[in-house]
Amino acid sequence: MDTNPQPPHHLLFVCTANICRSPMAHWLAVDYAKKRHWRVDVRSGGTLGLKSYPPADHAISVMNEIGIDISHHRCSGITEDDIQWSDYILVMTIEHASQLNSKYENADGKILQLGTFGGYTEIKDPYKSWKWRFRSCRRSIEESVISFMDQLPPRPIEMK
C-alpha cells in the first residue's frame, strides 16, 4: 500500500492531434516513472481537439520497438480540467504554447517546451512521414522526457 503523503506530479503532454508526438511522450513518461518507482500521473492531448482516434501506425510501431505498446491510446483534445489538473504542460512547439496561452489564462506559468530539455528547439511532427522520422522523433522525445523528469523533485512510491 502506497503511504506517501505527497501527490504525484501531474504532467500534460501536448501536440497537434494527439496521435504521434504527445502519445509517445505520454507513454515514455509513464514507462520511465514506473521503472523508477516515481509518483507521476500523465495525460496527453492535442490542440486540434480530435477525439477517439488511435495513434499513427508508425508511432505504434516505433514504440513497440522499445517495448512500449501505445495501441490502446485514443486521442483527445485539451480541456480546462486538463489545464487545472496539470503541474507542467509540455508542448512540442512554440505554436502549441501560443495556442494554449490564448485559450486558457491559467496555462502560461505551466507551459514548457519539451524539446528544450533534450537540446532541441522544437519537436517536429512526423505525421504522414517515413518510419525513420518517427523513430528519430521518438528518440528526441525520449531524451527530452528523461531529462525533464530527472529534474523534478523526487516523489518516490513508498510501500509499507
Active site residues: 15, 21, 125
Can you tell me which residue has the cell 517536429? Answer: 124
DSSP 71-137: TT----B--HHHHHH-SEEEESSHHHHHHHHHH-TTSGGGEEEGGGGGT-S-----TTS-HHHHHHH
- Grid coordinates representing 71 are 495501441
DSSP 21-76: HHHHHHHHHHHHHHHHTB-EEEEEEETT---SPPPPHHHHHHHHTTT---TT----
Residues 6+ apart with CB under 8 A from 151: 117
